[in-house]
C-alpha cells in the first residue's frame, strides 16, 4: 500500500532504464500486433518480464529479463511508443523531473542508425513531457561489454543530440552499464572526455557487482559527478568522505539492489550509511517492470524509518543533481 502523502509528493527520477520499465501490457500489445508473443497468455508473459522471487540474487538473471522487450524495441515507432508509456507511468507516480536512460546500440539490430535510435526516445519523451508538464532528458548508455571504442562512437552521437542543440528534451548525460567484472571504468576514459566536451552530465554504473575501486575510477578517471548504485562504497570510509566532500550523488535503487544481490536480503540498504555520512542520494527505480516497482514504492519503503520530511528532502536535493539544464525548470517552455 502506498500512502497518500508519498503518492502526492513531487518526485525526481534520476536512474531508470527504458527497456526494463516498459509496462508489460504495452509490450504484450505490441508483441501480439506483430505476432511476436513467445507465450500464449499475458500472465505467462509477465513471468518472462518481471523478476520472480526464485530468480533473485544475481545480476545476470536480472539482466536476462531485458531479452524479450528487445524484440519490439528495434523499430522507431515502437521505441517512441514505449518511451511515452514509461514516461506516462512516471508522471502518474508524481515524477516531475524524469531522466530516462537507454543504450542505442542494442536497438539497432533491425537497421536503425544511432541517431534514429536516440531520436526515437526523444520523440516519445517530448510527447509525454508536454502532456504532463514534466522535465525530461535522455542519458545515453554505452554497454561495457561492447568495449571502449563503441563507447566513444556512442558518446560522440550522444553529444550530437545534446539538449543544448534542442528546444525541448535532448540527451543530457552519458553512462556505462552491463557486466562490471572485467570491464573497469578506466577503459572508458576517452568516451567520457568526449561526452564532457559535449556538455553532457557524467554518471556510471559502478559498485553494484564490484568493489569500491571501480567507484574511485568512475570519479577520478571518468569525472563522474553521480554514481549508479555505488553499493560497495559503504565498505570504504575514505570514499564515503570523498563522495560527501565533493557532493557526488549516489543513484540508489533499493529494490533492484536486493534483487541482483548487490545488497543481501536482511541487510540494511546502503542508503542509510550514505545519509549518515552526508553523501547525496536519489531514490530510483532502475527498472519498474523487471523489479515490479514504482517511484512511489521505492519512496514508501523508507517511510517508517526516515519519515516523510527526509524523503521529501531527498527528492528536493536530488533535483540539484539533475543533468537537465536549469535543474529541469527551464525545459518545456515552448
Grid cell, residue 291, equals: 523489479
Whether the CA torsion 171, 173, 174, 177 is positive or negative: it is negative
Provide the H-helix boundaries in the chain: 4-8, 24-33, 42-49, 59-63, 69-72, 76-92, 114-132, 147-160, 189-197, 213-220, 237-245, 254-260, 270-276, 295-300, 303-306, 308-319
Question: Site residues for Zn ion, window 171-190 (CB under 5 A)?
Answer: none
Please say if 77 is a catalytic residue: no
Using CB atoms within 10 Å of the CB of residue 35, give its burial: 0 to 12 exposed, 13 to 18 middle, 19+ buried.
exposed
Of the listed pieces 89-97, 109-117, 124-132, 286-294, which binds Zn ion according to CB under 5 A? 286-294
User: Residue with CB nearest Zn ion?
Assistant: 286
Given 96, 163, 208, 210, which residue is catalytic? 208
In the bound complex, what is the minimum distance in angstroms from residue 17's beta carbon to Zn ion?
6
Of the listed pieces 31-39, 60-68, 180-188, 284-292, which binds Zn ion according to CB under 5 A? 284-292
Which residues, listed in sequence order, are joined to residue 100 by a DSSP beta bridge?
A: 16, 138
In the bound complex, what is the minimum distance in angstroms from residue 205's beta carbon to Zn ion?
6
Q: How many C-alpha atoms does 43 have within 13 Å on its Cβ side? A: 0
In the bound complex, what is the minimum distance in angstroms from residue 141's beta carbon to Zn ion?
8
Residues in contact with Zn ion, total (CB under 5 A)? 1
Question: Site residues for Zn ion, window 103-122 (CB under 5 A)?
Answer: none
End-to-end CA distance of the chain: 38
Nearer to Zn ion among residue 127 and residue 226 (C-beta): 226
Of the listed pieces 105-113, 235-243, 272-280, 283-291, which binds Zn ion according to CB under 5 A? 283-291
In the bound complex, what is the minimum distance in angstroms from residue 139's beta carbon to Zn ion?
10
Give me the residues that bind Zn ion (CB under 5 A), please.
Answer: 286
Which residues are known catalytic residues? Answer: 208
Amino acid at each position: 500500500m502506498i500512502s497518500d502523502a508519498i503518492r502526492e509528493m513531487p518526485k525526481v527520477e534520476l536512474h531508470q532504464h527504458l527497456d526494463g520499465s516498459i509496462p508489460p501490457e504495452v509490450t504484450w500489445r505490441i508483441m501480439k500486433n506483430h505476432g511476436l508473443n513467445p507465450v500464449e497468455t499475458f500472465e505467462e508473459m509477465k513471468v518472462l518480464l518481471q523478476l520472480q522471487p526464485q530468480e533473485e540474487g544475481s545480476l545476470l538473471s536480472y539482466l536476462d529479463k531485458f531479452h524479450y522487450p528487445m524484440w519490439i524495441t528495434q523499430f522507431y515507432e515502437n521505441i517512441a511508443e514505449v518511451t511515452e508509456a514509461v514516461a506516462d507511468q512516471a508522471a502518474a507516480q508524481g515524477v516531475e523531473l524524469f531522466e530516462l536512460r537507454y543504450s542505442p546500440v542494442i536497438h539497432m539490430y533491425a537497421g536503425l542508425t544511432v541517431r534514429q535510435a536516440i531520436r526515437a526516445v526523444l520523440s516519445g519523451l517530448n510527447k509525454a513531457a508536454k502532456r504532463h508538464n514534466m522535465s525530461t532528458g535522455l542519458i545515453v548508455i554505452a554497454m561495457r561489454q561492447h568495449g571502449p571504442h563503441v563507447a566513444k562512437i556512442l558518446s560522440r552521437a550522444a553529444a550530437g543530440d545534446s539538449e543544448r542543440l534542442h528546444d525541448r528534451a535532448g540527451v543530457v548525460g552519458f553512462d556505462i552499464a552491463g557486466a562490471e567484472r572485467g570491464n573497469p571504468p578506466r577503459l572508458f576514459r576517452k568516451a567520457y572526455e568526449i561526452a564532457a566536451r559535449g556538455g553532457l552530465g557524467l554518471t556510471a554504473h559502478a559498485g553494484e557487482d564490484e568493489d569500491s575501486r571501480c567507484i574511485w575510477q568512475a570519479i577520478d578517471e571518468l569525472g563522474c559527478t553521480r554514481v549508479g548504485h555505488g553499493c560497495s562504497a559503504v565498505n570504504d570510509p575514505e570514499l564515503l568522505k570523498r563522495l560527501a566532500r565533493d557532493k557526488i550523488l549516489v543513484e540508489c535503487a533499493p529494490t533492484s539492489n536486493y534483487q541482483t544481490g548487490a545488497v543481501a536480503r536482511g541487510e540494511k540498504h546502503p542508503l542509510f550509511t550514505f545519509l549518515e555520512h552526508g553523501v547525496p542520494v536519489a531514490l530510483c527505480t532502475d527498472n519498474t517492470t523487471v523489479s515490479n516497482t514504482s517511484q512511489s514504492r521505492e519512496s514508501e519503503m523508507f517511510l517508517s524509518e526516515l519519515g516523510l520530511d527526509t524523503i521529501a528532502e531527498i527528492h528536493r536535493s536530488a533535483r540539484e543533481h539533475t543533468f537537465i539544464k536549469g535543474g529541469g525548470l527551464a525545459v518545456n517552455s515552448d
